Amino acid sequence: MSSSSKYLEQFERVKRWYNRLVKIDQGRQHDLPSDCYQDEVYAFFLNCYHLKDWIKNDKSVGAAAEKVEQFIDNNKELSLCADICNGIKHLRLTRTRSRQDPRFGKRNFNLGLGGPETTISVKYSIDTLSGLVDAFELATKCLQAWEKFIVSNINDEAIT
């Protein structure tokens, strides 16, 4: 990571939160109260959306700073992420980017009780006007969208 590319600090943080989501989605040791898993899901979407602020405020990205808002508006997954983030941050969504009114819906828990430790996986659904969205699939597409934006607009080889 270039010392002049500060946005990469936030991008790496987003990737770390995503890796926590992978474990929640696919199964991890069940050693926390269930609300803690939801906190981690929320933290991913908050950090994912706020990567745009790091890009906008990082002088090393050049013209990409001017393109990031339009990129979010034109990307279905990142506009959903924006609305999820703002809904979490402000309790209710008053302005929408996605026009989908996303809200967290059902949580499906799967406990693994065999073996030396109890494991848990949790599937989170997001209710939208167009139907249900799997939160993990959305997170995966958001991360991929940011990678595409960075490669296409900043051309930073440090993201791999």
Q: Name the range with the highest mean pLDDT among 3-7, 64-68, 96-100.
A: 64-68
Least confident of 50-59, 70-79, 88-97, 125-134: 88-97
pLDDT score, position 156: 60
Is the residue at 1 inside a domain? no
Against a cut of 0.95, is the pTM above it?
no
Domain interval for residue 44: 7-153
Distance between CA atoms of residues 78 and 102, nearest Å: 12
Helices (H), 3-33: 7-26
Query: To the nearest whole number, what is the mean pLDDT of the chain?
Result: 92
Is the residue at 158 inside a domain? no
Is the residue at 159 inside a domain? no
Is the residue at 160 inside a domain? no
Is the residue at 63 inside a domain? yes
**Number of domains composing the chain:** 1
HEC states along 26-39?
Answer: HCEECCCCHHHHHH
Contacts 24+ apart (CB under 8 A), 112-118: 112/27, 117/29, 117/30, 118/29, 118/30
Is the residue at 68 inside a domain? yes
